[in-house]
């Protein structure tokens, strides 16, 4: 890797309200590890942000800080509040979901609805029941009697009935097959998200959420190493299938990463080099989010 990624928080060029989440110098140390290392980022309203990183990169620690579940050092505000000192007030506007498969197997549909209605002030029981009316779920059904698809539908009904300003999802589709993972995200996008809500999601399944994201943050060793809008990826990053006789000329432009292919060809990834300058070196394309992630995280497990 030869070229650094731009890690500075994006400047707000509009006359917009304060960010939903604002972090500066965010730091969290455990006994043997620095989980967050001077992390800085802004998350505006009405966005779907993917927080992506390898195991142990600091994703879950960042979410715990945002939710006021752990102490930390640095500055952090969520919806204008301090997550540690104003957590009770904050959680009226926040909904958090981890693994969708963690519902107790003994619980009935109606009991799950009663529970969420009792703990979240922004839960709309009528909206939840309207969503469930379009499924095969019945009030008396227990989770252990449901297929994985039904459990996904129950989770979605509970989530989408909460009028939260911030929805935090930590590996929400862990353990589900691809059909149910796609269904989860599609329904979330179609039936829940709007310009007044913000969704922050962590996942290892980068390719599956790429199409719904408006922004992406890569986190590595507790630091945010990429923070950008999805719309700018094609402007910033270019992959080139470099011809063998052009390899040295291409390397002189400082690729972010390169990987060898058969027959002497090389794929090089560039950040901030104009595509027209690269087109003479070989075939160009916009890298996928997974390709960019792999290139950025090379050496993480060394």
Q: For the chain, what are the domain ranges?
A: 21-230, 233-297
Residue from 218, 235, 183, 189 nearest 291 by CA: 218
Q: Is 21-230 assigned to CATH 3.40.50.300?
A: yes
Contact 192, 121 (CB under 8 A): no
Per-residue pLDDT tens for 84-115? 999 999 999 998 887 666 788 999 999 999 99
Give residue 170's Cα distance to chain centre. Answer: 8
Tally of CB atoms within 10 A around 47: 19
The pTM for the full model equals 0.84
Q: Find residue 48's DSSP bridge partners.
A: 199
Q: Which of 10-14, 15-19, 289-293 has the lowest mean pLDDT?
A: 10-14
- Count Cβ atoms within 10 A of the Cβ of residue 169 and give its class: 0-12 exposed, 13-18 middle, 19 or more buried: buried
- 8 A C-beta contact, residue 281 and residue 249: yes
Q: Which residue has the tokens 């097959």?
A: 177
Mean pLDDT of 22-39: 93
3-17, 82-96, 140-154: range with lowest mean pLDDT: 3-17
Rounded mean pLDDT of the chain?
87
**What is the per-residue pLDDT for 84?**
93
Q: Please tell me the CATH code under which domain 233-297 is placed.
A: 3.30.70
175-208: per-residue pLDDT in tens?
777 887 888 888 888 888 888 899 999 987 788 8
CB proximity list for 171: less than 8 A, separation 6 or greater: 98, 99, 202, 203, 204
The pLDDT assigned to 205 comes to: 78
CA atoms lying within 13 Å on the CB side of residue 162? 27
Question: Beta strand pairing status for 166-170 and 94-97?
Answer: parallel
Residues 132-161, mean pLDDT to the nearest whole number? 89
d(CA 217, CA 6): 11
């Amino acid at each position: 890797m030869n070229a650094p990624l731009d890690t500075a928080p994006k400047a707000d060029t509009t006359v917009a309200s304060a960010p939903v989440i604002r972090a500066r110098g965010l730091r969290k140390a455990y006994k043997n590890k620095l989980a967050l290392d001077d992390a800085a980022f802004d998350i505006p309203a009405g966005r779907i942000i993917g927080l992506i990183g390898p195991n142990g990169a600091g994703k879950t620690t960042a979410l715990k800080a945002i939710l006021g579940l752990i102490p930390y050092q640095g500055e952090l505000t969520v919806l204008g509040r301090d997550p540690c000192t104003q957590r009770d007030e904050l959680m009226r506007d926040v909904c958090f979901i981890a693994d969708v498969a963690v519902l107790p197997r003994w619980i009935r549909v109606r009991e799950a609805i009663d529970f969420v209605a009792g703990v979240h002030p922004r839960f709309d029981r009528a909206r939840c029941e309207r969503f469930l009316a379009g499924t095969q779920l019945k009030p008396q059904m227990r989770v252990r009697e449901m297929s994985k698809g039904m459990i996904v539908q129950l989770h979605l009904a509970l989530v989408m009935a909460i009028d939260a300003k911030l929805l935090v999802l930590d590996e929400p589709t862990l353990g589900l097959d691809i059909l149910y993972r796609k269904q989860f995200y599609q329904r979330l996008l179609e039936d829940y998200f709007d310009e007044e809500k913000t969704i922050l999601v962590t996942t290892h399944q980068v390719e599956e959420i790429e199409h719904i994201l408006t922004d992406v943050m890569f986190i590595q060793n507790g630091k945010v190493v990429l923070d950008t809008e999805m719309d700018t990826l094609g402007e910033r990053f270019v992959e080139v299938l470099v011809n063998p006789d052009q390899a040295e000329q291409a390397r002189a432009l400082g690729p972010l990463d390169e990987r060898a292919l058969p027959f002497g060809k090389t794929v090089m990834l560039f950040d901030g080099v104009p595509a027209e300058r690269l087109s003479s070196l070989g075939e160009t394309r916009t890298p996928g989010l997974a390709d960019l992630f792999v290139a950025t995280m090379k050496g993480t497990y060394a």
